[in-house]
A and B are shown apart, each in its own frame.
Chain A
């Protein structure tokens, strides 16, 4: 017959849960910074592809479509990249400004502008309309800058 766990064992388990729970939460919190950083890195990569193709004399339409698709997806997913508590904090490397959470309406408006312009970009690329992609590339770039100017700290 199994012995019932003693008081000390129970205390130890309780203590472990108390200590570990915030650690797990912290792990998730740390993960969101990396997820967000990697996502923007991926977005920058796609943007470079668009730029490189658009300045070429014979743009690769398949590459344009794929990159525009990546930008469009990012513009949809970005709404999940800024959960509460993923802002600037001691020991954290992020260029996300506290204003993202202190001015949520302005931030949401900036996110929506990017989403709207990126959707148009995706449609132009899907239609293989290089001239429209070129035009919309500029509009998306402006939407990026619009948000970065207010909600991202400048590079050191």
Chain B
């Protein structure tokens, strides 16, 4: 047997279409929310927030009942796994995990981004502008002062979200240029070169229907509250 012979590989689908769609819609909608918020387009800002709310509900649902690589249980790991991953991080080769999906370090980024976005959307639901004219759909449940506090926190937390996004993009670029591992393309087409015999990720259709219905119901319920 020849030493160092490359193991046979094949392009395997590791990200299902839903997770990719959610990812890129979030990119788009965070941008839309940013622009509409800064430019006082509060009607569109609310719509964008509703859409993000639906995507977050769907993503969390998918994290429990979705395809394997989307499930939190498959990629959220403890400190030991993170430390082990960190040790091989300087190697200039693509990491080939035993289980395809987020690496233990990237998992922290996923959780931090989801938490920041969920908190941001929740604050927006209760936010009230300085004039008491523009407000989130649940602002009638809180006082003017509480609504103002939510609006201020909504404004400040966005900077935290931007910092997390910057870290996320910087990490992806580190993988692209340092490790020669194009994660962006994988998030577009969903495929990654893995040892032959690896299976494409499968979409549980029933869970997909339930998840979309749940997300739509939550958005409808809040928007019409």
- Interfacial residues of chain B within 170-216, with CB under 8 A of chain A in the complex: none
Report if B28 contacts A (CB, 8 A). no
**Is there an interface contact between B130 and A48, defined as CB atoms closer than 8 Å?**
no
Query: Looking at chain B, what size class is its interface with the partner chain?
Result: 10 to 19
A141 to B134 alpha-carbon distance, docked (Å): 10
Q: B-facing mask of A54-71, CB < 8 A → 1, else 0?
A: 011000000000000000
Q: A residues within 8 A CB of B145?
A: 45
Chain A residues in the interface with B (C-beta under 8 A): 40-41, 43-52, 55-56, 141, 144-145, 148, 154-155
Report if B133 contacts A (CB, 8 A). yes
Q: A-facing mask of B110-136, CB < 8 A → 1, else 0?
A: 000000000000000000111111010
**Is there an interface contact between A46 and B132, defined as CB atoms closer than 8 Å?**
yes
A85 to B196 alpha-carbon distance, docked (Å): 78
A49 to B143 alpha-carbon distance, docked (Å): 9
Could you give 10 example pairs across A and B, Cβ below 8 Å? A40-B130, A44-B128, A44-B129, A44-B130, A48-B132, A48-B147, A51-B132, A51-B135, A52-B139, A154-B40
Given that A48-B135, A51-B135 are known contacts, is A155 also in contact with B140, CB under 8 Å in the complex? no
Which residue, B130, B131, B139, B148, has most C-beta atoms of chain A within 10 A?
Answer: B131
A43 to B133 alpha-carbon distance, docked (Å): 11
